[in-house]
Structure 1
Amino acid sequence: MTPSSTLSLSGERFTAVYSLSGTAAEVEARASAICLEQTVEFPEALIPNQAIRTQIVGAIAEIEPSARFSSSDESPNSFEVSIRYPVETAGRELTQLLNVLFGNVALQPGVRLQRIELPPALLQHYQGPRFGISGLRQRLGITDRPLLCTALKPMGLSPAELADMAYRLALGGIDLIKDDHGLSDQIFCPFDERVSRCAEAVSRANQQTGRTSLYLPNITAPADELDARAERARERGAGGLLLCPGLTGLDSLRRLAADERLGLPILSHPALLGGLSLGPHIGIAHGLLFGTLTRLAGADATIFPSYGGRFAFTKAECQEIANAARAPMNGLAPIWPVPAGGMRLEQVPELVRFYGADSLLLIGGDLHASGDLSARCAAFRSLVEPGSQTDSSGNAWGDL
């Protein structure tokens, strides 16, 4: 075998923090195994030379008791383990970065990827969001309030019926009108006809109101159709795109966000991603999955199930997502957290106080609770105008 004495890497590393359970000795042994598994995937005793051991294999940086369970009897021996990997192991590819972070150990029980720290040498390979918070505000002409979003539903309506709904939603002042993620290219609602009709309807409403509402069709599709569907959406007047990266892969999101020909905001839907985050001791932490990784891939806004709806995310998990979406990240634009999942108008004041002005509130079915859809949308809009809400001290939320 050819020796690797010529191996000469930069020495720069990125960090992955894992949550592991067990005794201190068990966790240290398991951490050492992860260092090998996520890089060489080779027995340590059989590594052919010292250069690979020192320059390629992951290195344990720190092991400390996990604060997540420090006051709970659920997992008294839970630790956070920081492992540092050479930046060269990730190459310049999002797919390989994800592979190093969690590829094989995702198959093992009791391992949860909590967070990551990526140096500029690695982040330079990623464009991230094209618009983010400030870019989407500029596109909509809105500077000082949360944005409003809803979905065209239920499945089963014709393109003409959905277009009429989109028109009334835009008249009512909804900023982003997206396809329901269940709308694809079904025989009862073909993609091309739906996009053409809905884009025209929203454009017509914009001309009447003088405002800007955007229609975002769902372009989630098989790999060999995805790019063409995105391009057809742009040609037919879509104002943005909805994508389910859990179904198509995060790198498909990255590719679309980087496509200069499209140049459209992308809203990420969490379909199928939930299974990666729900277990407290397995999968990927909420903030990392729905915030950091989705943002790194290029989403301008990330939908997630908010507390208080029909899903199981807690307040702490939702705050973790919102923080990760907007935290400084070496120049990558902050993105919109989009709390959703059975939200109701009566919850809007609390949602605005919790998520703040740089949030995008998604309400679906509850907008249809009365006969006048446009009036219901206008009521939704009135709840997020600056000065419409105050805290317990009487301060307007826009001043907080």
Structure 2
Amino acid sequence: MERVTADYYIETPYPLEKAAATLAGEQSSGTFVSVPGETEELKTRFAARVEAIEELDTVDRPSIPSEKLSFDSYRRAKVRVSWSIENFGYNLPTMVSTLQGNLYELTQFTGLKLMDIEVPDSFRSQYRGPAFGVEGCRKLTGAYDRPLIGTIIKPSVGLSPSDTADLVKVLVEAGIDFIKDDELLSSSANSPFAERVSAIMAVINEHAERTGKKIMYAFNVSDEMDQMMRNYDAVVEAGGTCAMISLNSVGLAGAKKICDLGQLAIHGHRNGWGMMNRHPLLGIEFPAYQKLWRLAGVDQIHVNGIANKFWESDDSVTRSMEACSKPLLGGYSVLPVVSSGQWGGQAFETYRRVPTVDLLYMAGGGIMAHPGGPSGGVKALQQAWLAAVGGQSLEEAAKAYPEFGASVEKFGGKLG
């Protein structure tokens, strides 16, 4: 019988074999005490198995304090556990409840993080994955052989539909590939969703008819399920190509429902990521996280950015980008979205660390606050990536390209 496998990073004051067995039992057929119905036959078929334990280091203080535990040492280890597919079938929410669920509350652990998961090939027959992915997003935007260049509407909240459309017009004329709503905005008092879609798509459609290039705008459709479906339909009817969902807010089932519609590329925003990942021994690592959303069908997913404005390290961002590039079930392509305090200066280190142009590179202030305005900001990002991929240094590019040179003068002190 096929099995789903999960890798964990754990910390415990107990013997590792005992702690791992508790993990496996709690998340399958067992509980804190033997019960009459848990026969050997049942356990053989449904009990989780501890496949491997790799002991790491020992520390004298727990990573997560517990009033119930007081020991002199706490062991850390990598643990691999597997479950029969029979336990949850192809039910993603129940699979997540199994792989994570109550584990974080078990007394036996002073640290536990889900690092990665592997699903059997049969998932391909149940989940089609991203409908567009990298190549589909390139086709929709007409952007090939380079990163897609994008931005976020700023101010995040407060602009009217007509104000937003005016800004979109400037960005569209500047040659941008992608624009998105901020995750804080779906439908506000002065910017009702349907009115904003209508105003923005009038600009985008007119530009497409005139030039042949259709900008991808990710409208934030996140809402209650029925309204989210209505929002999605409004984007389709207006001729849009993309919808944004706040992944952690709408959940796996909500995201999959939207992805299954298949008419729009889905931009997955991971706001709330820090509460799942910021602690080194609690939550979920991005390699596991992004696989769940790829199975649900998300086409684009945020990975943060090099020298970002948040807490995440460059090494962590690199691992996230690399995770997106690894095939899942032989394909399931997803476009990594590099963002957070970005401007053209980070393109060089981004490309050095992950030498690919299969990404969406987004800058908010890096475009909007450019000395030459949004038009200069878009050109500066395009120039930065042309230089980075072409082997030029930041200093050489600043001398060669006026718009990028101006952005170095404006933002250079924020690099690194």
TM-score past 0.5 threshold: yes
Shift of residue 216, structure 1, vs aligned partner: 1.3
CA distance in 2, matches of 1:309, 1:166: 25
Contact persistence 2:306–2:346 (CA under 8 A): no
Shift of residue 156, structure 1, vs aligned partner: 0.8
| Percent of paired sites with the same residue | 28
- Name 2:79's counterpart in structure 1: 81
Counting only pairs closer than 5 Å after superposition, residues 55-94 of structure 1 correspond to structure 2 as: 55-66=45-56, 77-94=75-92
- Name 1:276's counterpart in structure 2: 276
Q: For each residue in 1:349-381, what CA deviation from the matched residue of structure 2 results, as whole angstroms up to 9, or x when unmatched? A: 322333321111110112121353223212222
Counting only pairs closer than 5 Å after superposition, residues 39-54 of structure 1 correspond to structure 2 as: 39-43=28-32, 45-48=34-37, 49-54=39-44
CA distance in 1, matches of 2:306, 2:76: 25
Q: For each residue in 1:325-359, what CA deviation from the matched residue of structure 2 results, as whole angstroms up to 9, or x when unmatched? A: 12121133221111211112222232233332111
CA distance in 1, matches of 2:28, 2:192: 45
CA distance in 2, matches of 1:70, 1:178: 46
User: After the TM superposition, which of the residue ranges 379-388 and 215-224 deviates more from structure 2?
Assistant: 379-388
Give the match's secondary structure for 1:195. helix
Q: For each residue in 1:92-150, what CA deviation from the matched residue of structure 2 results, as whole angstroms up to 9, or x when unmatched? A: 21111111111111334511101011111244321111111122122222321111111
- Name 1:294's counterpart in structure 2: 293
**In 2 relative to 1, CA 359–42 (structure 1 residues): closer, same or farther, beyond 3 Å?**
same
Contact persistence 2:343–2:381 (CA under 8 A): no
2:14 maps to 1:13: no
- TM-score after normalising by structure 2: 0.84
- Name 2:99's counterpart in structure 1: 101
CA distance in 1, matches of 2:127, 2:36: 32
Give the match's secondary structure for 1:168. helix
CA-atom RMSD in angstroms: 2.4
CA distance in 1, matches of 2:50, 2:314: 31
- Name 2:221's counterpart in structure 1: 219
**In 2 relative to 1, CA 339–210 (structure 1 residues): closer, same or farther, beyond 3 Å?**
same
- Name 2:362's counterpart in structure 1: 362
2:377 is aligned with what amino acid? R
- Name 1:191's counterpart in structure 2: 193
2:19 maps to 1:30: yes
CA distance in 2, matches of 1:244, 1:210: 30
Give the match's secondary structure for 1:31. helix
Counting only pairs closer than 5 Å after superposition, residues 202-241 of structure 1 correspond to structure 2 as: 202-241=204-243
Contact persistence 1:14–1:117 (CA under 8 A): yes
- Name 2:407's counterpart in structure 1: none
Counting only pairs closer than 5 Å after superposition, residues 108-257 of structure 1 correspond to structure 2 as: 108=106, 109-154=110-155, 155-257=157-259
1:17 is aligned with what amino acid? D
Give the match's secondary structure for 1:62. strand
Structure 2 stretches lacking a partner, 5+ long: 64-73, 398-416
**In 2 relative to 1, CA 90–323 (structure 1 residues): closer, same or farther, beyond 3 Å?**
farther
**In 2 relative to 1, CA 323–167 (structure 1 residues): closer, same or farther, beyond 3 Å?**
same
Count of residues in Structure 1 that have an aligned counterpart in Structure 2: 377
Give the match's secondary structure for 1:283. strand
